[in-house]
Amino acid sequence: MKKISLLSSLLLLTSICVHGSEQQHTFQQRTTCVSSNINCWPTQEEWHELNNLVNGNLVSVVPPGKACYSGKDFNKNTCRTYQKGFLSDLHRESYIGTMQNINWETCGEEGGCLLNSLFPSLPQFFGKCSQGALPRYALNSTSEQEIATVIGFAQRHGIAFNIKNSGHDFLGRSTSPDSITIWTHPLQKIEFHTSFQPQDCQDVPPQKAFTFGGGVKWFDAYRAADEHNVTVVGGAQAGVGVAGGWLGGGGHSMLTPAFGLGVDHVLQYKVILASGELVTVNKCHYPDLFWALRGGGGGTFGVVTEVTMRVHPKINLQAIGVELFITVPGAQKLLMLEFARHSERWAEEGWGGYFYYYGTGIKFLYGNPLLSKEEAEISMKPFLDFVNSKPWTYLKKRIETGTSDGFYEFFINIMHPNAEMVGYGARIASRLIPRSHFATNETIEQLIDKFIEGTKLTRPGSFFVPTQILATTSLREQDKDGETSVQPLFRSSVWHVIYTGGWIQGMPEFIKRRTSIKVSQAADPIRDITPNGGAYFNEADILEPKWRQSFWGDDNYDRLVIIKQKYDPNNFFNCWKCIGWDESMAIKDKKYRCYQY
C-alpha cells in the first residue's frame, strides 16, 4: 500500500480553498545545504575554524539516548541519568539534543535514539540509533558576538538554522536535520527592577519589571518573582522557556483571563538580527519590530537574547479542581453543556485554567486572582450544584477548592505535579472558539456536538491523551490599540480547544501516520462552525488549512510580512508555517524533509 504522508495531505489541502493573502508574499527561496553534498557542506577544517571563532563553544550534537544503545558510545552511568529524567520536562530541556516530544527527534522512519516512553529503563541493545532530525552542531554560549558569528557562518554556507530554547514546540520548529542550532539555554540572566523604563522611552512611566535571559525557564522565573513578592504571567510547564516560542507566539497562561497574554507584558527585547546586529527593541526603538515580536512567532525575526516584562503585585489565587468519572451514557454531553453555559461568565470574572476530556470522564483545574474566597464560591456554585444534583452519574467524584498564597505556591504544589506528559510522540490540532458560540442554548449545543464529534477521531489507535479545553484566552484584556501581532480572535474567544494524539517508541509507522491524520481531521467539525476562525500559532496542526489567516488574521499577516522583508529579506530565519514560509518549501527545502507525520 502506498504510504500517505502529511506532505501529500498538505499539498492537497493547500491546493483547495486558498484565497486572499494565502496566495501572496513569496520570499526568495534559499538552497539548503546538507551534509551529503560535499560541494557546499563545510569541511572539518572550516568547522574547526568556526569553533575557534566562538571560543570552543561549538558542540557536536549527539542524541543523548545514544548512551543507552549498544556500540562505542554506550555508557551505563550516562544512560541511567538520561533514563531517570526521560519523562521530565525539566530534565529534557537540559539537553541540546532532546525535544519534549520524541517525534521531532526522528526523521520519518529514521528513528533517532529513543527510549520507551512507558518504560524508559528498558534496555535498547538491539535498537537502531541515528541522528534523526537533530542538528549536526549547536552553539552553547552566552556571548551575543558568538551567536552573530554562527548566524553569519550558516548564511554563507546555506546551512539550515534553528533556535532552541527548551524544545517545547508542537510544530517541530526547534530542530531540523543537517542544521546548526543556537541553544539559548546558557542565557540565564534574571534581574529584578524596582523602576524600569525602556531605553529612550521618556513617556513610559517607570515600573517594576524582570529582565530574563533567553534561556530562563518559567520554573526559575516564578521562583524569582515569588522572592520579590510579585507575579509574572507565564506558561503552564516548568521547563518552558520565558523568551522563546511561548512568548513569540503570544504566550497564554492560567492568568491570561485576568491579566492578559505574555506579550502584553513585554517592555523591551534584545535581539540579534540576520545581519548579526544586536538591537534593543521597544516602543521607541524599532517599534515595527517590537510589534512583530509580540505575537508574530518565535524563530522568525531574530534571536532573542533577553526580554524585560512588567509584573503584578503578589496575588492570592482562588483555585478549584474537579475530577469526575462518568458511568451513565449521555451524561458526558449534559456535563459539557453545563460547563459551556458558565464559561463566558467565568472568563469575564478572571477564571483561567485547563479542562481535560477523556471520553469516560473529565478533569479541570481553574484559578482566579481577582476574586475573594467568598466571591469564588458564589461564582462556581451554580456549576457545582449541577454536578452535586446527579450523584448517580459518577462512579468517582472529587471536588477540591482552596486559596494559594501567591502563584508560585500554586504552581509548585498543584500545577507542576500535574503537568502534561513529555517523552512521547504527539500531534495536535486546535481552534479558538469565539464568544458568539456561547450566546444561546442552541449555539452551545451545536458547539458541544461538534466538539464531541472531533474527540471520536483522536482515540482509536492513539496513545491515550485527553482532548483539552484551555480557558487561557484574553477576553477581559483587550488590545484596543493593536499593540501586539497576536491573532485578534484570541481577544474575542472563550475557549482554546486542542485535539491530541500520541504514540510511544516502537509503535508501527502506519499507526503514527494514521494518528497524525486523524488528529488533523478531528478539528474539522469545529472548523466548520468557525469559518474564518483562528488557531493558536504555538499549539496548532502542522497541516492547519489557511494557516496565515488562522494564526494571525489577514491584516496582521500582511503587515508581518512587510516587517519580515525589512529585517530578514533573505528569509534566513525560517520555520514551518512561520512568517515567510510557503507550501513549496515543504517539498523543495531539505530542512523540512522530516515533516512526514
What does the pLDDT read at residue 358? 87
Show Cβ contacts of residue 299 under 8 Å, excluding neighbours closer than 6 positions: 162, 163, 173, 174, 245, 248, 573, 575, 578
Choice between 197 and 394, residue whose per-residue pLDDT is larger: 197
Cα 134 to Cα 63: distance, rounded to the nearest angstrom: 8
27 alpha carbon, distance to own chain's centre? 25
What does the pLDDT read at residue 108? 78
What does the pLDDT read at residue 8? 44
Determine contact, residues 326/392, Cβ cutoff 8 Å.
no
Residue range 554-562: average pLDDT?
97
pLDDT of 4 higher than 50 = no
Q: Give 24's pLDDT tier (boundaries 50, 70, 90).
A: low
Closest to 519 measured CA to CA, from 1, 3, 176, 9: 9
Show Cβ contacts of residue 209 under 8 Å, excluding neighbours closer than 6 positions: 192, 193, 196, 267, 308, 309, 310, 311
Whose grid coordinates read 512611566?
Answer: 205
pLDDT of 29 higher than 80 = no
Choice between 15 and 564, residue whose per-residue pLDDT is larger: 564
Cα 259 to Cα 350: distance, rounded to the nearest angstrom: 8
Compute φ and ψ for 514, nearest 5 degrees: -65, -40
What does the pLDDT read at residue 231? 98
Residue range 98-118: average pLDDT?
88
3-state secondary structure of 69: strand
DSSP letters along 495-529, please? EEEEEEEEE-TT--HHHHHHHHHHHHHHTHHHHHT
Residue range 553-571: average pLDDT?
97
pLDDT of 173 higher than 70 = yes
Q: Give 302's pLDDT tier (boundaries 50, 70, 90).
A: very high
Return the minimum-mean-pLDDT range out of 164-168, 220-224, 228-232, 301-305.
164-168
Percent of the chain whose pLDDT exceeds 70:
94
pLDDT of 15 higher than 60 = no
Determine contact, residues 382/342, Cβ cutoff 8 Å.
yes
Closest to 390 measured CA to CA, from 481, 326, 341, 320: 326
Show Cβ contacts of residue 266 under 8 Å, excluding neighbours closer than 6 positions: 247, 293, 294, 307, 308, 309
**Domains by residue range for the chain, with CATH:** 31-186 (3.30.43.10), 190-314 (3.30.465.10), 316-552 (3.40.462.20)
Return the C-alpha cell found at 235. Answer: 506558561
- pLDDT tens digits for range 497-540: 999 999 888 888 888 888 899 999 999 999 999 998 999 999 99
What does the pLDDT read at residue 417? 82
Q: What is the mean pLDDT of the chain?
A: 92
What does the pLDDT read at residue 26? 65
Return the minimum-mean-pLDDT range out of 5-14, 63-72, 257-266, 317-326.
5-14
Cα 299 to Cα 165: distance, rounded to the nearest angstrom: 10
Return the C-alpha cell found at 174. Answer: 526547534
pLDDT of 311 higher than 90 = yes
Instruction: From residue 280, give the alpha-carbon distance in Å to each of 63, 151, 212.
Output: 35, 18, 14
- pLDDT tens digits for range 47-95: 999 999 999 999 999 999 999 998 899 999 999 999 999 999 999 999 9
pLDDT of 465 higher than 80 = no
- pLDDT tens digits for range 123-159: 887 778 999 999 999 999 999 999 999 999 999 999 9
Q: Give 463's pLDDT tier (boundaries 50, 70, 90).
A: low
What does the pLDDT read at residue 14? 45
Percent of the chain whose pLDDT exceeds 90:
80
Phi/psi class of residue 186: alpha, beta or left (left: φ > 0; alpha: ψ in -120 to 50)? Answer: alpha
**Number of residues written out for the chain:** 597
pLDDT of 541 higher than 70 = yes
- pLDDT tens digits for range 337-389: 999 999 999 999 999 999 999 878 899 999 999 999 999 999 999 999 999 98
Cα 465 to Cα 467: distance, rounded to the nearest angstrom: 7
Q: Is the dihedral of CA 62, 67, 68, 74 positive or negative?
A: positive
3-state secondary structure of 308: strand
Return the C-alpha cell found at 450. Answer: 461538534
- pLDDT tens digits for range 235-248: 999 999 999 999 99
DSSP state of 250: T
Return the C-alpha cell found at 190. Answer: 534574571
pLDDT of 13 higher than 80 = no
Phi/psi class of residue 528: alpha, beta or left (left: φ > 0; alpha: ψ in -120 to 50)? Answer: alpha
Choice between 28 and 20, residue whose per-residue pLDDT is larger: 28
Residue range 464-491: average pLDDT?
91
DSSP state of 531: T
